[in-house]
Amino acid sequence: MAGRRFSLLRLFRRKKEEESPGAAPAQQPEEVQQVQPPQEDAGQERTEEQLRARGRFRRAAQTFMKFMGSRRRKARITPADVQAQPDTILTQLTKPDVSTASTAVPAKCDTTTSDLTTHWDTTSTDDVSHCDSVLPGLTEEADATTTEGVASTDAAPVQRLADTPSLEFLEERAVSAEVAITPDGDMQQRPPTVPKLAWVKEEEKEESPRAAPTQQPEEVQQVQPPQEDAGQERTEEQLRARGRFRRAAQLVCRFIRCIWHEEATFMATGGTANSDLFSAQTSAALLDMLVENSVYKAKQVPAIVRCIHQWLTSNVSAEHRLDKTLVLLTEEHPMDVAVTLLRSAPACDRAARTMWKTLISSRWTKEPVLQILFRVLEYWPAHRRRTSDGDERDVFALAATVALWEILQLSHSWCPGGVKDNFPRLLLTLLFQVFISTEEMSEEVETFWRRCREQRSLPPNPNRFAVQTVKALLRQLLGEDVLMAIGRKCGWDMLLKADSHHYAVGLLARELCRVSRSFCRSIAVSLLPRLSRGEPLWELPALAFLVEVLHCLNPRQCGPSVLQIISRHLRSQCPERRRLALRGLVVLSRDPAMAKSMRSLSESLLELLQDADTDAVQMTLSAFINVLHFQIVKISTPTALKLLEALRPLFDNEHSQLQQLSMLLFWELMEVTERSKSLKPHVYLSLVPFYFNWHNENQRVAEASWRALFGAARFLKWRDLEDLVTMEQPWRFPECLLEKDRSRVGQYVRQALPFLESPEKPLRKLAIKFLGIAARSMKKEQPELQLICQALQDMTDDSPAVSNLAQETLHIIRAVRRTSFFHFW
């Protein structure tokens, strides 16, 4: 670090391009040698005023840098460092470079510097006032030494000085980032055992080989500046030089005040009160020097960040001038830099965009800055963060959203690695912002967004801007096809409506699964902790996304946590949540590993079979079928009884899908349920519906009925009925059934009567035939016989084929009954 300081300070003296021929002064044993200025071309002569201006400027620069060096030694140099590295600042300041004018000031500079550095580390206003008080002293000193260095001009002309001396010299030579970091070559060659004054003398000998040293007394003489004539008047050039120097010194003091003491006007106006300060190149040079040499405290970092932002705002053409300074500052204080930038420029103006791009482009600052940005995004509406200067103001999540959108816009051809690695986290956070800014908008968020819109062109509503950020994120990672696919299905419009937001989230999940299953898998894993915590605000959209990507997960790893989430939502009062939970349960039930775990949900599923929601009942039947299909779980008799009671009304349901699924579930139940006498009555009552649905026009329903009828015959161990079903001879079923179980003929008749009103003509004719066969085996006193005759008699308004069949069957029944009556007598 000392090497860096030495190299930086060496830049404040001009190096000689060629040695000066002339008389060699006598050498003094312990005195700093006076080096003759280098010769220039014969045609270039320096006026007396220019020499005086140069002397004033050099002494001001030396005073300021010694001021900095003293503070830095006080704060940073340890005793071990002092022994290892000699004090190079004094050497630099005492070594003359051009003329004797530069050696006349150190005594006064040391006095002034010691006064300034005595209380440098304190933050009282006395330092500022004292710093301002230095200006008159420096100016008077410059006036008193206007004739200084004139004698040396006669011996040898000196290098021509610029007409406008200012502290821009700091930017051009003193704070070059590349030079400031490179150790000085002379410093590397310095013998470690040579004393400081001896080293100065050796260095001067090397630079002035023609000088013939002579022995002088040991003490260093102080060169008194020549006095001007009392009546000498200042020329116009001298007055201009004095004014330039005064303005430059005032600029330095004001800049230090802004950073070290945080003027109220700077905080209130955001730097507008110091616009002239930040429009100067000297300010950038001072910022470089402060950061590269670590001449600041941690609590001053937010002020430096604001100064950098204000300087970039005032200097449009030099937007990359402070890139390295910003990166160095962020490496040491990433939280202070990122949070301060979000507070100072929430709307992300041009200067802030430049700063974000610089931070994201650097591999040293990219990851910490993005993590801070993501953390702020996750806290809605604002996140309270304390910076090192004690500022605890809230940082709005929308400010981080604007910054993220700008980062994505700045990287058209590449996506930052941190954004890609945190894609699940970002996408879920942005979708939540879209939902919450659509569902409810607090007054503070509205006020914040209104202020942002006053600064730049932004959408009228925050939810629309959040959707734009989602699009930018998906475009960077997945391409334009995903955005177009969602747009064709009106997904972006549905995302902006509270009642259809979860549908749009599910649509987005399906499209993501189509493009990249790995992304969906990572998103689902990130989503599980949120759903496990039970966040009520975004629970429905989160559940919709999870259900769509469940097939991308490994059930053995995520199954238990998913099952816990689903079981909680099965008992929800919200119909939409129940439907989503059932959809997820159907997906899980397809995996054998989850079938056994779902046994605990049987009670909740039985209740849902009686739900009025057709979709919920359908998904419940599907989940039961998938679980029983693996034959891993054995159903207990009480559960089987409840299930058969719940299924029986569904056999005749008007929805064919429910009919099919209920009969398939019955067949699966017969395969895994142990035979019990308590189950047989329910199985008997299921035979007639299966028989009629076996003739259903819907082929799927007919096939499911055939399977259910076959399972019932096997469960009852009726070989005749089982063979009849296997050989597909349905016309034999009524006689076989009525002969096997005459005790339940009345119940069978009551089950067949509703089929006389079936919309399907074949089923009506089949019901007439079944009732005719049942009537012949019934006794006259049975009430069901009267019901059959009355029903057939009322079918005169049906189609001719059906009505004629009903009349013929009724005539046969009456004839049979009369014949039976005569035989009885």
Give the chain's domain count. Answer: 1
Alpha carbons 338 and 485: distance in angstroms, whole number: 36
CA 789 vs CA 634, 692, 780: distances in Å = 45, 20, 12
User: Number of C-alpha atoms within 13 angstroms, CB side, residue 258?
Assistant: 31
64 has pLDDT over 70: no
Q: State the DSSP H helix or E strand holding residue 214, giving kind and residue range, or none if neither.
A: none
Token duo for residue 419? 């954004």
Does 327 map to a domain? yes
Identify the residue with better confidence: 173 or 663: 663
Does 287 map to a domain? yes
247 phi and psi, to 5 degrees? -65, -40
Count of helices and strands (H, E) across the chain: 46, 2
Token duo for residue 702? 């007919």
- State the average pLDDT for the chain: 74
Alpha carbons 350 and 245: distance in angstroms, whole number: 33
DSSP for 385-426, written as a single string: ---TTS---EEEHHHHHHHHHHHHHH-SS---HHHHHTHHHH
Identify the residue with better confidence: 358 or 38: 358
The confidence score (pLDDT) of residue 418 equals: 83
The confidence score (pLDDT) of residue 710 equals: 93
Give residue for tokens 């040698």. Answer: 33
Q: Tell me the pTM.
A: 0.66
Chain centre distance of CA 385: 17
pLDDT tens-digit series, residues 417-439: 788 889 999 999 999 999 999 98
108 has pLDDT over 60: no
339 has pLDDT over 50: yes
CB 138 within 8 A of CB 59: yes
Alpha carbons 402 and 174: distance in angstroms, whole number: 37
pLDDT tens-digit series, residues 276-322: 556 567 778 888 888 888 878 899 999 999 999 999 998 888 888 99
End-to-end CA distance of the chain: 130
**What is the 3-state secondary structure of 53-84?**
HHHHHHHHHHHHHHHHHHHHHHHHCCHHHHHH
Does 377 map to a domain? yes
The confidence score (pLDDT) of residue 596 equals: 80
221 has pLDDT over 60: no
631 phi and psi, to 5 degrees? 55, 35
The confidence score (pLDDT) of residue 290 equals: 83
The confidence score (pLDDT) of residue 355 equals: 96
pLDDT tens-digit series, residues 754-791: 999 998 999 999 999 999 988 887 876 678 888 898 89
Alpha carbons 538 and 382: distance in angstroms, whole number: 17
171 has pLDDT over 90: no
Does 73 map to a domain? no
CA 235 vs CA 56, 159, 242: distances in Å = 16, 21, 11
Q: Is the peptide bond before 302 cis (omega within 30 degrees of 0)?
A: no
730 has pLDDT over 50: yes
Mean pLDDT of 577-600: 89
**Residue 30: band (very low, low, confident or very high) from pLDDT cuts 50, 70, 90:** very low
The range of the structural domain enclosing residue 304 comes to: 244-256+278-422+439-455
Mean pLDDT of 487-492: 95
CB 524 within 8 A of CB 564: no
pLDDT tens-digit series, residues 128-164: 333 343 333 333 433 433 333 333 333 333 333 333 3
77 has pLDDT over 60: no
The confidence score (pLDDT) of residue 636 equals: 84
> Which of 251-265, 379-393, 520-534 is least confident?
251-265
Bridge partners (DSSP) of residue 395 are 383
Identify the residue with better confidence: 175 or 236: 236
61 has pLDDT over 80: no
Identify the residue with better confidence: 234 or 672: 672
Alpha carbons 774 and 752: distance in angstroms, whole number: 10
> Which of 66-70, 169-173, 366-370, 668-672 is least confident?
169-173
Does 429 map to a domain? no
Token duo for residue 608? 């849902």
Nearest one of 333, 408, 403 to 364, comparing CA atoms? 333
Q: State the DSSP H helix or E strand holding residue 124, giving kind and residue range, or none if neither.
A: none
Nearest one of 803, 797, 791, 757 to 654, comparing CA atoms? 757
The confidence score (pLDDT) of residue 160 equals: 33
**Residue 57: band (very low, low, confident or very high) from pLDDT cuts 50, 70, 90:** low
pLDDT tens-digit series, residues 784-818: 888 898 899 888 888 899 999 999 998 888 887 66
Percent of the chain with pLDDT over 90: 40
The confidence score (pLDDT) of residue 254 equals: 64
Alpha carbons 214 and 182: distance in angstroms, whole number: 36
CB contact set of 5 (below 8 Å; sequence gap of 6+): 69, 72, 88, 89, 293
Give residue for tokens 């992304």. Answer: 519
pLDDT tens-digit series, residues 80-107: 343 333 333 333 333 333 333 333 333 3
CA 357 vs CA 121, 233, 324, 328, 366: distances in Å = 34, 55, 12, 15, 9
Neighbours of 393 (CB within 10 A): 12
Does 369 map to a domain? yes
**Residue 416: band (very low, low, confident or very high) from pLDDT cuts 50, 70, 90:** confident
Alpha carbons 201 and 706: distance in angstroms, whole number: 114
The confidence score (pLDDT) of residue 234 equals: 61
pLDDT tens-digit series, residues 231-270: 455 688 878 877 776 776 666 666 666 655 544 344 334 4
Does 739 map to a domain? no
Return the ∠ at Cα 618 (arms to 612 and 619), rounded to 5°.
Answer: 115
Alpha carbons 580 and 273: distance in angstroms, whole number: 59
SS3 content of the chain, % helix, strand, coil (to 5): 70, 0, 30
The confidence score (pLDDT) of residue 511 equals: 94
**Residue 388: band (very low, low, confident or very high) from pLDDT cuts 50, 70, 90:** very high
Does 365 map to a domain? yes
Alpha carbons 578 and 565: distance in angstroms, whole number: 11
